[in-house]
Structure formats: structure tokens, C-alpha cells
Structure 1
Amino acid sequence: MTTTVPAAPRTTPRSAALGSMIGTTIEWYDFYLYATATALVFKPLFFPNVSSTAGTLAAFGTYAVGFGARPLGAVISGHLGDRVGRKAVLVGALLLMGIATTAIGVLPTYAQAGILAPALLVVLRLLQGLAVGAEWGGAALLSVEHATPGRRGLFGSFTQLGSSAGMLLATGVYYLVRTIAGDAFLSWAWRLPFLLSLVLVVVGLVIRLRLTDAPVFARLKASGETARLPVVEVLRTQPRNVVLTTGLRLSQIALFVLLTTYSLTYLQTTFGRDSAVGLVAVMVASAIGLVSTPLWGYLSDRFGRRPPYLFGSLAGIVALVLFFLAADSGSAVAVVLAIVFGVNVVHDAMYGPQAAWFGELFDTRVRYSGASLGYQIGAVLSGGFAPLIAAALLVAGDGRPWLIVAYFAGLAVLTFASAWFARETNSEGLA
């Protein structure tokens, strides 16, 4: 007896890619708001009774909590996404992120609620981490599984564009509010970007509810052959790919976080606390990323997923050295150029092909679970703790950044090795 898939409005590769990008932009807007506020706001408002160094470490510690929750989000969403569908999980992830981010916008500060304030901040950051842990895998697979053969790198990169667009929106809104509000920024205006999330989530839900799962997954679901415990199955049958995708994330996410989040704190020592040099540099890199990310995705369709990754993993060491030299020079132009080089030329070489490569490495039965686990475990091992480790290494290095560079170089070697041993997939079909 032949099983048929119920007819549904066809989601085209282009609409799937755009729908994934818009929803992911909103998710990352919310996530990067927290990252920006960590560097600029949370230390004085939520950790005022500790030293400057301890306050910085505490603020970045709450930032790391969000990364720590991401693997759990990946496990939960992977199970549901491989059994129920990609779209349903994406709608839930967007709702959770919107609720958590809006709640941060009305959170009392330490002066108003004492120790309860940072405790609630940690809880809400935990919810953000769960949402992001669920988001990426579903959005990436929606784009990659709908894409035509030979264009998965390009269409998959649209999911990655959400990161650049979300960061551009978050830093742009923060820069605008900070500039207009002036002295009122720390007293109340810092809340406005978080409250804006409520409006953006409504827009994202309208768009996502119109999408459908890809035919390759719809056929699997209709056949009744979905994995009963997809997370367990992928760890049992494809552990090598989980390890390799984790390794592929290490230097990519660390470089990004160091150049776009930790840099805001580091630059304050050179340009002063009220300087906007870091925010401007991140905004410029984010804007260019809207072009450079799909360009690298396209190039991976032409030349393979591996070559851009090999380049990006090792060039990241050079990029980080150039950033610290530029920061210590006191030249705002040099800082902007260094961050643009590090993010758009080096980081995006790894980030552009990533959605396609991760999706292609796993079978459809366990693709959501496998891709999400590698992506999010790598994020927590590297990205979540990178600012915290960098802040501690700066102290250990008597204010010089070269221990940070050495730490990153170790991650770069691991990513290079993972790219070298991972299967080249750009000419393969989706199993």
C-alpha cells in the first residue's frame, strides 16, 4: 500500500530561506541584546557591590548561562523536531525567546530588589538559551531541506544571516537609544530595546506560521519511520559526526564572541567607558555580513565546504592578533577594519557554509538532533565561556591580551582538525 503525504501549500526554497532568516533575526536580536547589555549595562545595575573586575566576571557569567542552556534546548527541540516537525518547534522557540527577552525589559535592578534581581536575570537568560538551542537547528534545516541540490550552501547561509541581521539590529537599537537617552540610559532607557522584542515576535510568528516542513521530512513522517528517540539514535549511530560538528564550532563561535562581545569591554580600557567605537565597528561588520555570509555559502557550493573552513580556522589567529594591536593603537579606524576583517573575511568563511555542512552530515531521521547537538555543544564549550575566560586571562597576563590569543589558537587547531576529517558533502544528496 502506497503512503501519500497530505497536500499542503508548497513552501519554495526562497520562501523557506527568507522565513528562516527573518525568524532567526528576531531570535538573535533578543540574544545579542543580552550580550550588548552584559558589556554595557548589567555590571553597574545588577552587580554594583563588587569590584570592577569581579563585576565584569559576574556579568559575563550570566551571559555564559545562556550558552550552558543551549545543549538542553538542542536535546528537547531535536527530539520534537525529528518526530513532530521543524516548523512546530520553531514557533515554540520564538515564543519562548520573546517572553524571556520582554521580561528582562521589566526586571527590577539590584537597587530595587537586591539579590533577587541577578537571580531573576539568570533564570531569564536560561530561558533565552533554551530558545536559541531550539532555534538554529530547525531554521537551518528548513532552509537546507527545501533547497535545490547544488544550492544548499547559499540557501542555508540565509539562516546564518539572521545572526548578522539580529546583531545589527540589536547594536543599532542600543546605539540609538544610548545616544538619544544620554544620562537616562542607565536609569531606564536600557529597557526599551528589550521591550521592542514583543513587537518583533508577533511579526516573526505571522511569517513562520505560513511555512511548511520540507518534502524530505514530510515523506519520512508520513511513512511512520521517524526515530523513536532521535537523540539516542544519533549518538549511537553517528557519534563521529556529532564530535566533528562540535569541533567545527569551537574557533568559529569563539572568534565571533571575542570580536563582537568581549571587544566592547576591552575597548573601554583604550577609548573610555562612554566610547561607541566598539558598537560602531560591530554594526559595520554586521551590515557587511549580510553580503559576506551568503557569498561564503555560495563559494562552498562551488568549491566544497571544507576549503573555506580550513582557511577560516587558522586565519582567525591572525585576525585576533590584528584586533588587539588595533585596539592598543588607539585608532578607531584600525579597530573597525580589524573587526571587519575578523568577522566578515575570516569568521564568515566558516559561518556561511555551516548550516549546509551540518545538515548534510546527518540522515533525515536524526538531522535536527545531530546538527543541533554539534552546534550547541560547541557553542557552550567555546562561545559561552570565551568572554569569561578572556577576562580572566587578561588579568593573568597583567593586562596584556596574548594569553587570550594562545587560548584561541588552541581552539583554532581543533577546528582545523575537525574540518580536515569531516566528510565533504557539497555534492551529496540528503539521505
Structure 2
Amino acid sequence: MGMYTALRLQRRLRPGEARVTVVTADSFMTYQPFLPEAAAGNVEARHVVVPLRRVLSRCTVLNGWAVAVDPEARTVELRPHAGPGRILEYDLLVFAPGSISRLLPIPGLAECGVGFKTIEEAIRLRDHVLAQLDLAVSTTDPEIRARALNFVFVGGGYAGVEALAELEDMARGACRYYPGLDPGDLHWYLVEATGRILPEVGPEMGLWTLEQLRQRGIDVRLHTRLESAVDGRIVLDDGTAFDSDTLVWTAGVKPHPLVERSGLPLDAMGRVRATAELTVEGSATVFAAGDCAAVPDLTQPGKTCAPNAQHAVRQARTLADNVVARIRGGELTPYRHAYAGSVASLGLNKGVAQVYGRKVRGRAAWFMHRTYHLSRVPTTNRKVRVLVDWTLALFFRREITSLGALTQPRRAYERAVRAEAATRAGDLSR
């Protein structure tokens, strides 16, 4: 959201007209709709992120955390990754810190679960699933094998369904390289507290998706909640209990913690109350949009826009234009969204969509999903790289290499240090 706004401001502002500063924890922006494909190995991880310093060449990018906002003093407190903090002054503020995973006080969830909102989480999950297959064919302990081959996803929205479907598709294909391991040995669970999945594509397409997942052997539990995950012991409220080393939590999001500390007016869900022009209610100097903002949906009076990527990208365009209008003394434009529909990928050549009221499924929906998101991923550079990844996938099978050690790059060095210490201790004892 922030990158799209800054990119449009960079294009529309005249040289010297304003200085744009972007505060962000990372030096890149992640195109989240491609996370499931990155996790499944369909797209190279680096191709779903956009380097901010290359793209925002006319903006100042500061890396760190915005830890406080003072709307009265018009300041933002920045805490860099190292060293002392600093205070940034502003004339106009675009407030778009986004959202984080919404966790529940479920025993064991904090210790055993992993989210699916960042590229780091997506790649870790891919490596973890492949490592579990490695473990399953290497161990002689049936309990360890069973635990390794149980994969649990909690949350039946876009993130949960797409992540599970892509990873199940990847693991099914990988089984051909694991003698003694059959796709039927893998047990995939989707746990959803409500009575439907993928509500974004409508009841009929959601039901079709449910049937497709179950035909693939995926155990979808509706009207079911996770009660406990202590030490990897998964306990559901329907009485089911089993062990698993894979627990993916995608059961909703909530506004970033900075929102609560911002001093800005909030709604009952903890989101910033925004106007249709994407200004914060009661403020002429603060704009807000995206996951953290409650933006009125002018097409459905009384409702607010859903916190999804489709709205975020379009709101960024209107927000940037309104910032330029405010600088130049012009009129602000209200954000009005014409609903086009929703698309979801369920693995290679599998998808579901509802576009302009038309229901599409299978390969056609999968193609529409890829086409739409390819058109939305920012920069020509990334579009070409993603397209090349997809083209190569037509001729070569997915990579099945687990690079989990990348998350602990010092492990080999530390092992060598311990070995050297043991050798020296042995020498001293002689």
C-alpha cells in the first residue's frame, strides 16, 4: 500500500514540489498474492518482492520501525534497526502500517504455529514441508513419521486455502522422488470455524472448492476450532487429536499495533476511521488506507471496504492523487470501487473465480488468477521475471530442494567451533 502510493506520488509530483520519505522495516515490498506460488516453488522468492530503493529513486527510504505518531505535533518517531531513534517531522502523513496475524489465546499456538503473511514465512514453510518428507522416509520410528506427515492449516480464507492447496500440490508431485512415500501417506487438514471456505468467491464457488479439496484427500473440518497445540499435539473441539510438526495459522488479521498507539480515531475493530477521500476523520494532514483503515464503501452504504489487496492497490492511486491535490490546493476525490470479482489458485492448473458475476473454475480460473495478478505486480522488471518463472515451469518440474539451513547460516560454523573445542580439550587431557 505504502509503496504504491509513493510510486504514484513520485510520478505525479514535479521536481522540487515535495519531499517524499518512506519509513519501512524492510527495504522491499512483498506482493502478497504471490506468496502461495513462492511457497510452492512456482515463482522464485526474489521475484515476488520489489526493491524499494531501486523503484522509489526520487523518494527517501528509511529502514526501521515507526513506533509512535503525534498528529498534533506532526511527528513520527523512527527506531532504526540499530542505534538511537530519531523524530521525523511531516506536513502530510500517509498512515498505512498494514496488519498482522490475529492470534487467539490457544495453548501452544504461539510456540508451534507459523503465519503466512511474509516472504520469509512462505519460504520457511516450503523448506519445512520438504524437510518433513525427508524425515518421513529416513526415520524408522512410525510415530515420528506420522507426526511429520500431518500438515494443519487453520483458517479457510484466501491465505489458508491457497497456501494449503499449492503446498499439497507441490508435495504430491515431490513424492515421486521419495521411494516408499505415497501421496496418500500425507495428511492435510484445513480447520475452519465457520461453515464455509473462500467466502470471497461466493457460496457456490466456495462449495465447489470444498468438494475439490476433499476429492484431493484434504480433510476439511468446518464448524471446527483449534483448542490446543501444546508440544505439537493438535486438539480440535470435535474431539480429534493427533501430533503434527506443521501448524499454519491464517485465521484472520488485525491492524498493526502502531495503529492503537497513533492517537488517531479508531472504529470498533481497531482500524483508523477514514473518510471516502481517504483522509483520517477530523484531520486535514493525515491520510489512511489499506488493511489498517476503515474506508467507507460508497457502493454499499453503511459498510467499509474489505481489507484485501484489490482495495489496497486502488486506494493507493486515489490517495496519492488526493495528496497531490491537497498540496496544490485542489479538490479531493472520493474512493469508489467497482467490484470486479475474486480469483484464487488451488495449485497448478486449478483455480476458482467469480468475475463480474460469472463463475469460473478449473484451468480457466487458474489462468485468470495468474493474468490478473501479473498485471498488478509492480514494475515491468518483476512482471517479466514472474512470467519467465512460469514459462520455465511448463518445461521443467518444480525444484524440491529444502534450504532450511539458510535460516541458520552459522550452524555449520558453530559445529566446527564445537569440534575444534573438543579436539583441543582432548589434546589437553593427554
**TM-score bracket relative to the smaller structure:** under 0.3
Looking at secondary structure, tell me which structure has more helix per residue: 1
The structure in which a higher percent of residues are strand is 2
**TM score, norm. by length of structure 1:** 0.25
TM-score by structure 2 length?
0.25
